[in-house]
Structure 1
């Protein structure tokens, strides 16, 4: 479950374990659940198994890190596309092993995307974590208003980002006050749903999010339209956050 990724905004994908459960409408057509059913990996859901991947798979990030030494930028690793690092059903010692691996590979930038930012306070180790980008999925305004303040409170990472995918409702990525700081996302990925029966994302939703990102000075990455239809020229923007000298 490790590979050179086909996802446009990352270089590698690493899955330390497989398995999750649905927590909001954005999960309704979960591709990871579909893959798990197709290949018979695990049963999905609250009572389903969380299956740790092989020792050989866990060695891959160290290999990527070794290959990246001396590179002009750190390769990005999306962890985990077939699970949620901050899932309540995952054993704490597995999570500790993952963070030990992240600490041992400073040549990589680790992108941790969760739909459970409420768990960060007790599951994300104190830092600073200079090679971790923390993200949360917000498929609409309701989820953004609930999840972004929880992620924004994390001050021990260089990048806090939003995955507005699948976009199933309009979203304006406003900022929130954390202590004495007004904090907006450092990066926003926007994408429509794909596959049979995909829920439609009007281009206007993506444009609205992009315009607010410009106001916020938030990097904007347009991943795809609904059903992977061509991206309109005005939306063909693929930016990454500036994280300073590496």
Structure 2
């Protein structure tokens, strides 16, 4: 997991990598084969699990060769990296995560089980915002109809569009957005207006690593999209690779749910990062409180409560020190039950 190179995300997390499509302009595919070194040799390695005939691979731990960790040992073949499942937990404050940037985790070749496991990982760290992107939005639709698509406010489902004929995912009560990369045609038509009206956010980008295509892109198309989104009241984020060249001063907006200042007040964030002092009954961020730990014998320490420092110091002064710890625990337990 790394800091995202894309301005609209904070971190990039890839629990599933790879894609079966043969897109000639795909930068992640080129990076994958540069990093994989010898795919045929790695496929025969006993650490390689999964369905080798279908070219669907699974790794339970990082694939190492000597002292080096190979991030993509099977090149751009679809791979499930289960050892990355808890990476979001390494970040303790709410951030925007782009999920599956090194492939299409909703491609038709990806098993439902893999996708459901990724959703389970997201659910363990609900204070983050998770942004998914795909070129196969019908997988979103199928999972949504099956009741398997999380619809909490911190899940955002994006569809990659290139022109107004592409269809973005849209469902009632689900956050959806459009990633238009590259702009290869006008959206100033009924179909384009419909696509931009049906999403809650628009991200606009030139295609990475393809200068020839970028030169063909017409600035008027990009301006049209910004104007249509503004008329609909839809936030639009124009990436720097497009903003610097053709649209100086173009907006870089987020929906309210993706703003960092709003994320730290959400119920999910408070449930994970706030504690209630059993003495005074007040809630505070856990980083501002003391954790009262108890160890029995050689077992690992167990946290009983988060306590405000002034509350604990006050009780210690009244009760006379460490020999009354049992009394402090007994009273705080009674207060908590009450």
Q: Which TM-score applies when normalising by structure 2? A: 0.58
In the alignment, what sits opposite 1:190? 204
Q: From the superposition, tell whether residues 112 and 21 of structure 1 become closer, same or farther in structure 2 (CA, over 3 Å).
A: same
Q: Does 1:238 align with 2:248?
A: no
Structure 1 residue runs without a partner (length 5+): 69-73, 177-181
In the alignment, what sits opposite 1:71? none
Structure 2 residue runs without a partner (length 5+): 41-53, 56-76, 267-338
Q: From the superposition, tell whether residues 197 and 231 of structure 1 become closer, same or farther in structure 2 (CA, over 3 Å).
A: closer
8 A Cα contact 1:126 1:156, kept in partner: no
In the alignment, what sits opposite 2:28? 32
In the alignment, what sits opposite 1:17? 16
Q: Deviations over 1:31-57 (max 9, x none)?
A: 1111112112769xxx653112251x2
Q: Deviations over 1:199-232 (max 9, x none)?
A: 1222111100000001111101111446x85343
In the alignment, what sits opposite 2:110? 90
Whose Rg is larger?
Answer: 2
Q: Which has the higher contact order (CA 8 A, sep 6+)?
A: 1
* Secondary structure of the corresponding residue to residue 13 of structure 1: strand
In the alignment, what sits opposite 2:172? 155
Distance 1:63 1:192 in 2: 32
Matches within 5 A, 1:30-179: 30-40=26-36, 48=55, 49-53=77-81, 55=83, 57-64=84-91, 67-68=92-93, 74-124=94-144, 125-143=148-166, 147-148=167-168, 151-152=169-170, 154-157=171-174, 159-172=175-188, 173-175=192-194
Q: What is the CA RMSD across the aligned residues, in angstroms?
A: 2.5
In the alignment, what sits opposite 2:220? 204
Q: Which TM-score applies when normalising by structure 1? A: 0.78
Q: Deviations over 1:99-133 (max 9, x none)?
A: 10111111100001111011223235144322201
8 A Cα contact 2:25 2:210, kept in partner: no
